[in-house]
Amino acid sequence: MVQQITRPTADDMPHDSLPDKPEGTESRRLGAVFWSSIALIAAFVLWSSVSPQGLGDVMTASMNWVAASVGWSYLVVTLLCIGLMLYLGFSRFGGIRLGSDSDRPEYSTWAWLAMILSAVMGIGLISYGVAEPISHFMAPPHALAQPETMEAAVRAMQFSFFDWGPHAWAVFGIFGLAIGYSTHRKKRPGLVSPMLRPIFGKLVDGWFGKMIDVFAIIATLFGTTTSLGLGASQIAEGLGRVFGVSSGLVTQILIIAVVTVLFTLSALSGVNRGIKYISQITMTLSLALAVYVFIAGPTNFISNLFFRSVGQYFSDFLQVSLITPSTPDDLQWMQWWTYFMMAWWLSWGAFVGVFLAKISRGRTIRQFVAGVLGVPSLVFFAWFTIFGGSAIQMDMNGAGIGAATTENINSAFFAMLENLPLVQLTAVVTVVLVALFFISGADANTFVLSMLSSKGSLEPSKPVLGLWGGLTGACAVLLLLVGGLTALQQAAMLSALPFTVIVALLGTCLVMELRKDREFEALRHARLKDLDEKGKNTSA
């Protein structure tokens, strides 16, 4: 056992003299957060094994209530996150570094952005890149356009941007900034609870703080199992089209088992090797595939659709951001699309926040906002327009992609590729991309789960990494068995509910902490009269 070292708090020390690692990383002993999380997950696994129908019924009833009663909270919180991110990026706080004033970024900008895009939401680029736009094209959201028209195409892209653009990345950004500031600048453990200290004080050191960290672990696990289920379905569909392999449930379970082993091994190799290199490979392949489809596909249609849809998105930004269901059918649509998407991002908040904090040390808040809110949103806008727009134009010409998507949503991406040259090659590249996105995302998830359950240690032990890798794969399989994709989505939405409150509290605490930052120590106690006199003396 390593002897505990008593040291001054971060608030009492100059930032340049702070230790290199957060407090709490000296000991790898597992505490109540780890064992409580394992117990809750074990209870869930037991329930799903003994009474899958009962679990499915409870999850469905709970989700229906959440969507009908408090679904609006998902919209309000994500919109407020965008406002706060923009405020922090453009305000005087933008120059503060996530670390000491002398810290500089550990990763190059390319490697940093590649890890953000690949490890965070990369798998969604394939799973929803065609499926969401073509689905909205066939049945425009909220009946805002006639189906299968040019206006429907614009609305389809507008709502795809809404689901995958700033609303998603702002949630990740608030978690990332809060945890990054707390971990790197204040030298606290890499957990969610310490960042809430300005509001709750010493409560975060007791059962209340532990409960928040357990919530973060559960939400992270279920948010990631949704991605695993989507990834397995996409890989199975691709293998079926390229090699004639059955894409049924057994194949998906085998895929999850194999990939679980791979991403666990990658996690054991550490962020600097596994996640970093896989992310850069996936980004290179993704860029090559997007350029190919843009050139080989309906280039003029894609270009015009992009600018028209971006204009529609910003023109209706506030209206769409706060749109709520008006009919039972509208509610069902919101539950399957908008509410699910916003809840998915909230359930991923802790995972992505911890991961972004891990890779963003040394960057200023302004750089972080641009790299997390701006660049990924633009990349996702372009990706959805290239692939979704190509599918829409092909469907207008009678390709039948919309009908194929309605029958099997996992077939959308491959159905679009079949209308372009080199389909066998692009299908294989797509399967490889999904597998790599699958591995890098689950790899990052395994690291974060291990970190959150190891008292915030930035270097969790290998047995803990291995355990969380196995549990992630096991929960994804069980949810597939209980109710397929619907069960995966319900688990993500329900686990996200507490985070509508937690992310609001995190944003509030972050602003409170930034206002007390040493960067503004002199200004905090100065009077306007004193500053005016100093300015006059300097000019004289």
Contact status, residue 95 vs residue 327, Cβ threshold 8 Å: no
Give percent of the chain with pLDDT exceeding 70: 87
Higher-confidence residue: 170 or 106? Answer: 170
3-class DSSP assignment, residue 106: coil
Q: How many domains does the chain have?
A: 1
Phi, psi of 97 (to 5 degrees): -90, 150
Q: Work out the angle at residue 207's Cα, subtended by the Cα atoms of residues 202 and 213, and round it to the nearest 5 degrees.
A: 95
Q: Work out the angle at residue 291's Cα, subtended by the Cα atoms of residues 286 and 295, and round it to the nearest 5 degrees.
A: 150
Whether the pLDDT of residue 146 is over 90: the answer is yes
Does 413 fall in a domain?
Answer: yes
Q: How confident is the model at residue 272 (pLDDT cuts 50, 70, 90)?
A: low
CA atoms lying within 13 Å on the CB side of residue 72: 7
pLDDT tens digit sequence for 471-501? 888 877 877 776 666 666 677 777 778 888 8
Q: Which two tokens stand for residue 517?
A: 């930052």
Helix, strand, coil tally for the chain in percent (to 5) = 80, 0, 20
Q: Encode 166-228 in three state secondary structure.
A: HHHHHHHHHHHHHHHHHHHHCCCCCCCHHHHHHHHHHHHHCHHHHHHHHHHHHHHHHHHHHHH
In this structure, what CATH number is given to the domain that contains residue 307? 1.20.1740
Does 41 fall in a domain?
Answer: no
Does 284 fall in a domain?
Answer: yes
Whether the pLDDT of residue 64 is over 50: the answer is yes
Closest by Cα among 296, 256, 274 to 434: 256
Does 64 fall in a domain?
Answer: no
Does 370 fall in a domain?
Answer: yes
pLDDT tens digit sequence for 363-387? 999 999 999 999 999 999 999 999 9
CA distance 47 to 59: 12
Please report how the helices 150-164 and 338-347 are oriented relative to each other, as an axis angle in degrees rounded to 10. 20
pLDDT tens digit sequence for 447-466? 888 888 888 777 788 888 88
3-class DSSP assignment, residue 297: coil
Buried b (16+ CB within 10 A) or exposed e, 483-510: bebebbbbbbbbbbbbbbebbbbbbebb
CA distance 114 to 371: 11
Range of the domain at 149: 70-514
Does 112 fall in a domain?
Answer: yes
Closest by Cα among 179, 176, 183 to 22: 183
Does 445 fall in a domain?
Answer: yes
Contact status, residue 453 vs residue 33, Cβ threshold 8 Å: yes
Contact status, residue 188 vs residue 24, Cβ threshold 8 Å: yes
Closest by Cα among 143, 150, 158, 139 to 402: 139
Does 436 fall in a domain?
Answer: yes
Contact status, residue 359 vs residue 183, Cβ threshold 8 Å: no
Q: For position 94, what pLDDT does the model report?
A: 92
Give percent of the chain with pLDDT exceeding 90: 31
